[in-house]
Structure 1
Amino acid sequence: MIQMQDVWKTYPNGVMAVNGISIYIKKGEFVYVVGPSGAGKSTFIKMIYREEKPTRGEITIDNQELSKMKERHIPYLRRNIGVVFQDFKLLQSLTVYENVAFAMEVIEEDKETIRQRVMNVLDIVRLKNKARFMPDELSGGEQQRVSIARAIVNNPAVLIADEPTGNLDPETSWEIMHILEEINERGTTIVMATHNRDIVDNMRKRLIAIEGGRIARDELRGTYRYEG
């Protein structure tokens, strides 16, 4: 599914963010990516959806080699990879329905398919009754649920969640995690970067710990083990 082979990433300022990572994530896995600040987690995550390109090494997703991929092919890759961000990244001038529909409109789906699929994913994230609301009429947790709906509306094989509970209170964070778990149970591979010790230690999943740009631990039911 997702494979990295001897992947390195050095930025133009000389900072080495990823230092020889090799990893394989199977289809349908739920994986936490943890580690101290500045360890290379964000770079690791961004390379999966080709926001960053490795300096050296190979990254393959469903037999597509990302580092050799032409720029014009990246949008097609991202149709198969949903991304959820810490700060939601919703379009404030669009309704909940329109924010989610936008992800299908850009790939020119027909209106009826869009309507059916958008209402289906809003039902999954329990926001069907707020389809006509604007983002500023929603709580932070509700906005994150819209972000999740938008990320899964095109049925991606992989969902990347970059600190999805980072701006949320504990109760709301658990709501988000239960939704992500449901999505994973439907067959979507989830890779989630997080600093949330409580979630990691209570919802045991495969855990990849990155320290100094390297894989420090790779455990099937790992615990957090970091301060702060």
Structure 2
Amino acid sequence: MIHMKDVWKTYPNGVMAINGINIDIEKGEFVYVVGPSGAGKSTFIKMMYREEKPTRGDIIINRNNLAKVKERHIPYIRRNMGVIFQDFKLLPNLSVYENVAFAMEVIEESKTNIRKKVMNVLEIVRLKNKARFFPHEISGGEQQRVAIARAIVNNPAVLIADEPTGNLDPETSWEIMHILEEINDRGTTIVMATHNKEIVNTLRKRVIAIEEGRIARDEQKGDYGYER
């Protein structure tokens, strides 16, 4: 599913963010990515959806090598992956329904399919009754659920979550995690960067710890392992 082989990333300013990472993530896994601030987690996550390109090495997702794919092909590869951001990245002038539908419109789905699938995923994230609301009219937790709905509406094989509970209160964070677990139970592979010690230590999954750009720890049902 996801294979990284001898991956390095050095930024133009000389900062080496990723130092020779090798990792395999199988279909259907739920993986936490943890580590201190500045350890390379964000770069690790961004390379998975080609927001960043490795300096060298191979990143293969669904048989596509993201290190070698041409720029014009990236949007097509991203159609089979969903991304959830800490700050939601919703379009403020679109309703909840329209924000989710937009992800299908860009791949030119029919209006019939769009309506059916959007309402289905809004039901999964418990927001069917908020379809006509705008982002400023709903809570932060509800906005994140819209972002999740948008990320899964095209049935991606991989869901990449970058600090999805980072801006949320504890109760709302647990609601988001339970939704992510349900999505994972349906067969979607999830890779989630997080600083939430309580979530990692309670919902035991595979833990990949990154320190100074390297894999410091890779454990099944691991714990957070840091004070914060």
- Please state which band the TM-score falls in when normalised by the shorter chain: over 0.9
For 1:124 and 1:62, the matched residues in 2 are separated by: 25
Q: Does 1:214 align with 2:214?
A: yes
2:34 aligned partner, one-letter code: V
Residues 1:57 and 2:67 aligned together: no
CA offset digits 1:103-129 (Å, max 9, x no partner): 000010000000000000000000000
Alignment correspondent of 1:39: 39
Partner of 1:186: 186
Aligned residue number for residue 98 of structure 1: 98
- SS at the partner of 1:89? coil
Q: Which amino acid aligns with 1:34?
A: V
**How big is the shift at 1:17?**
0.2
Q: Partner amino acid for 1:117?
A: K
Whole-Å Cα distance in 2 between the matches of residues 215 and 74 of structure 1? 26
Shift of 1:146: 0.1
Q: Which amino acid aligns with 1:67?
A: A
User: Amino acid of the residue matched to residue 28 of structure 1?
Assistant: G
For residues 9-32 of structure 1, the C-alpha deviation after alignment (integer angstroms, 9 at most, x for no partner) is 000000000000000000000000
| 1:138-217 alignment runs, 5 A limit | 138-217=138-217
| Cα distance in structure 1, aligned partners of 2:47 and 2:26 | 17
- 1:32-74 per-position Cα deviation (integer Å, ceiling 9, x unaligned): 0000000000000000101100001000011111111011100
Following TM superposition, the consecutive aligned residue runs of length 4 or more in structure 1 with deviations greater than 6 angstroms are none
- Structure 1: gaps (5+ residues): none
SS of alignment partner, residue 160 of structure 1? strand
Unpaired segments of 5 or more residues in structure 2?
A: none
Residue 109 of structure 2 aligns with which residue? 109
The percentage of counterpart residues that share the same residue type is 81
Task: Name the SS of the counterpart of 2:82 in structure 1.
Answer: strand
Cα separation, 1, equivalents of 2:65 and 2:175: 35
C-alpha displacement at 1:147, in angstroms?
A: 0.2
Q: Quick one: distance in 1 between partners of 2:9 and 2:96?
A: 37
In the aligned structure 1, how far is the partner of 2:141 from the partner of 2:62? 32
SS of residue paired to 2:150: helix
Question: Equivalents in 2 of 1:211, 1:184: separation in Å?
Answer: 26
SS in 1 for 2:87: coil
Q: 1:64-75 to 2 correspondence within 5 Å?
A: 64-75=64-75
The root-mean-square deviation of aligned C-alpha atoms, in Å, is 0.4
Between stretches 63-72 and 117-126, larger displacement belongs to 63-72
SS at match of 2:57: strand
Work out the CA distance in 2 between the residues paired with 1:2 and 1:49. 11
TM superposition score normalised by structure 2: 0.99
- Deviation of 1:136 (Å): 0.5
In structure 1, how many angstroms separate the alpha carbons of the residues matched to 2:74 and 2:63? 14
Distance 2:60 2:108 in 1: 27
The whole-number CA distance in structure 2 between the counterparts of 1:72 and 1:195 is 34
Q: How far apart are 1:206 and its partner, in Å? A: 0.2
Shift of the alpha carbon at 1:199?
A: 0.1
Displacement of 1:227: 1.9
